[in-house]
Amino acid sequence: MASELRVNTLKDASGNNSVAISTVTGGTPKAYAYWNQETPAIVDSLNASSITDTATGKGAINWSSAMSSASYMCTTGSPSVSSSATYTPVTIDDGIYGYQTKSTTVWPFRDLYTGAGSGFFDSKGSICAAMGDLA
């Protein structure tokens, strides 16, 4: 038999540190992915079903459950490649690298290495967390 727990506020075991349920449901990522594009494979995830590898440093994360609209946002990160360069998943149109359109079920990425020999690069450990509402 299914059951429901209806609450307005959560507190820790001692009755302190309260947080409204709306903060928990509205303020937490609805999906995240940690991937290795060299394989390519998703290493760990929540609500991510697979990775699509389209070219060196380019691909997409496919969500298991759709977002309510394509206006959700993803925060991203990658490990440092060296102390003199950055390595960043990007989805912006800067006029040089182009733009990939995201949808409610697909978040495209481009892993870009800037520094000596800059360009697209297959990451061994990029991450993204999607903020928004599920459909």
DSSP string, 63-75: ESS-BSSTT-EEE
For the segment 80-129, what is each residue's pLDDT rounded down to a tens digit? Answer: 555 555 555 555 444 455 556 789 999 888 887 776 667 788 888 888 99
Strands lying side by side in the sheet with 73-77: 41-46, 31-36, 126-131, 73-77
pTM of the predicted model as reported, rounded to 2 decimal places: 0.75
For the segment 25-80, what is each residue's pLDDT rounded down to a tens digit? Answer: 777 899 999 998 889 999 999 999 999 998 888 888 999 999 999 988 888 877 65
User: Which is more confident, 134 or 94?
Assistant: 134
